[in-house]
Amino acid sequence: MGFKGPWVYGAIISNVWDFAGSSNTGDINLLNFQYFINYNFPSGWYLTTAPIITANWEADSGNKWTIPFGGGAGKIVRFGKIPTNLNAQIYYNVKKPDFAADWQLRLTATLMFPK
């Protein structure tokens, strides 16, 4: 993760697969990749993009990837003494499996407990 002035950026990547289990179920091999970029304003507002890109390596070739594009905005507010991160983001899936949604909407409220 990086910080440069008002910018925060980084990435998270993981791949999950099975190695044992019932032979009656399908294999699991899933990639999750999320990069994030925030621009923070002094007032507590920020602009952000943090799409979650996925690949199901076991799916048919045209149905492996979900690649969203978009972003949103948020603000750090206080409820009493508790800082809370309120955020809204919208993403269009530029690549997706056949029966997946065209759009993603992400609304979050995160309670923050700094030390």
Strand (E) or helix (H) holding 7: strand 7-17
pTM (2 decimals)?
0.86
Q: Residue ranges of the alpha helices (H) in the chain?
A: none
pLDDT band at residue 2 using 50, 70 and 90 as cut-offs? low
Between CA 68 and CA 35 the distance in angstroms is: 11
pLDDT by residue (tens digit) across 35-87? 999 999 999 999 999 999 999 999 998 999 999 999 999 999 999 999 999 99
What are the sequence ranges of the domains in the chain? Answer: 2-111
